[in-house]
Homo-oligomer: A and B are copies of this chain.
């Protein structure tokens, strides 16, 4: 059973100690890697994806760089070259190993990498166990950020691995879990009236996660944490609109394909059509047609297309073209977030152990809005730009989100590869419009 479960989710009600939460998140990353052969840790199948080994090391480097080095007097690096090797993109931290060359490195070995993780874990635990409240106040925010950061990489480990396995003609399977898919509810519009709404996270920028609590409180709970790009909470005029009650299914997407969706430039954005041409896209990523039947590669291997499952691995361009074909459009961030305000965070997360989106049994749904969280991230019509009043954090961590506010589109919700405790209504995920290897799908909207 490759997917970690209970350990992962402190959730809303579990009040684990801070150290326990730290250990749980770190352990989850390693549990996700448990099914891998040593060789699987090493490969990089495209510049945007990273070897699992790199993810393991980089998430440790994060704690080393932002917590241990600045805050632990006399801290000794695990290895002098690791800052160079495992810095992802922080310009303020000096030069770094080229992103598209991560698959060229056989060393450190997987074993070395796990030793690195253990070294960092020991150091952090020691720091947490010391009971130095002043110190904890200084580092708590960054550790929490580091845990959320690590959760993002948990998702990337799965998406990058899926991409790598999909290239391989041997079609390796990551796991073999069964999946039971229920029929989705009928599609319908949910109408919202024009309103002056508030969106974004209310936490003050200076105080990223709240002061470190004396008790072992639920520090890590989603509600208390947010990235800088989710702030500040602010008013915006949301026009009247309609939001689809559920995700677009494979069956619906196939209708678009059958109707020539990939052959009609008039349905596509100009850059989207160019991407379609350059990549010779004929279907979502991983889809394959043999003998007139479509199948797709999943973490459990090659499988027939499930008509009731949410369509997945589409780019923004495809989502946008599909919406135009359906005489609809994608929702804006404000529309999505304000609609999500009334919905409980639930759904098909990493812990469900499927690694593949799937419609929940109808019985689980008490709508009107289904599948807002879990299954697939939902492309919005909103470019990733700063909210009014946004303040970029000082120092290297200011690069976390702020410098990516151009040429990227926001996705909302969460996916079947997202840890449950990582999901938030205000969460702004973002990827370039041509990205397809994330668990990304489509929810429609339209003018009211």
Interface residues in chain A, defined as those with a beta carbon under 8 Å from any beta carbon in chain B: 37-45, 53, 81, 84-85, 89, 91-92, 97, 101, 103-110, 164, 167-170, 172, 196, 234-237, 239, 265-266, 268-273, 316-317, 320, 381-383, 385-386, 388-389, 398-399, 403-407, 433, 447
Least CB separation from A46: chain B residue: B104
B406 with A84: CB separation less than 8 A: no
A168–B37 Cα distance when bound, in Å, is 22
A447–B205 Cα distance when bound, in Å, is 15
A266 with B398: CB separation less than 8 A: yes
A381–B383 Cα distance when bound, in Å, is 11
Least CB separation from A388: chain B residue: B239
Least CB separation from A170: chain B residue: B107
Which of A81, A91, A381 has most B Cβ within 10 Å?
A91
Given contacts A38-B39, A84-B169, A269-B403, contact A106 B164 (CB under 8 A): yes
Chain B min CB distance to A230 (Å):
17
A400–B241 Cα distance when bound, in Å, is 26
A104 with B45: CB separation less than 8 A: yes
Residues of chain B contacted by A164 (CB below 8 angstroms)? 104, 106
Least CB separation from A84: chain B residue: B169
B433 with A104: CB separation less than 8 A: no
Chain B min CB distance to A106 (Å):
4
A405–B92 Cα distance when bound, in Å, is 33
Which single member of B45, B110, B170 contacts A108 (CB below 8 Å)?
Answer: B170
A164–B383 Cα distance when bound, in Å, is 33
A103 with B103: CB separation less than 8 A: yes
A-B contact pairs, 26 of them (CB 8 A): A38-B38, A39-B42, A45-B104, A89-B270, A103-B104, A104-B167, A104-B168, A105-B167, A106-B168, A106-B172, A107-B170, A196-B237, A235-B237, A236-B237, A237-B237, A239-B388, A239-B389, A268-B403, A269-B403, A269-B406, A270-B404, A271-B407, A316-B406, A317-B406, A381-B385, A383-B385
Chain B min CB distance to A242 (Å):
13
A239–B273 Cα distance when bound, in Å, is 36
Chain B min CB distance to A113 (Å):
10
A366–B403 Cα distance when bound, in Å, is 38
Given contacts A42-B43, A105-B43, contact A266 B84 (CB under 8 A): no
A270 with B433: CB separation less than 8 A: no
7 extra interface residue pairs, beta carbon distance < 8 Å, beyond A39-B109, A91-B266, A271-B406: A38-B109, A42-B42, A97-B169, A108-B170, A381-B386, A383-B383, A407-B407
Which of A265, A316, A320, A383 has most B Cβ within 10 Å?
A383
B433 with A43: CB separation less than 8 A: no
Least CB separation from A403: chain B residue: B270
A43 with B106: CB separation less than 8 A: yes
Which single member of B196, B236, B320, B406 contacts A433 (CB below 8 Å)?
Answer: B406
B106 with A42: CB separation less than 8 A: yes
Residues of chain B contacted by A101 (CB below 8 angstroms)? 167
A196–B271 Cα distance when bound, in Å, is 33
Given contacts A91-B273, A273-B91, A388-B447, contact A43 B239 (CB under 8 A): no
A170–B104 Cα distance when bound, in Å, is 12
A43–B110 Cα distance when bound, in Å, is 14
A389–B242 Cα distance when bound, in Å, is 12
A382–B386 Cα distance when bound, in Å, is 10
Chain B min CB distance to A110 (Å):
6
Given contacts A237-B196, A266-B91, A269-B403, contact A39 B107 (CB under 8 A): yes
Residues of chain B contacted by A39 (CB below 8 angstroms)? 38-39, 41-42, 53, 106-107, 109-110
Residues of chain B contacted by A433 (CB below 8 angstroms)? 406-407
A85 with B169: CB separation less than 8 A: yes
B406 with A272: CB separation less than 8 A: yes
Least CB separation from A239: chain B residue: B388
The 3 closest A-B pairs by CB, nearest first: A91-B265, A39-B106, A383-B383
Least CB separation from A387: chain B residue: B239
A25–B350 Cα distance when bound, in Å, is 49
Least CB separation from A161: chain B residue: B106
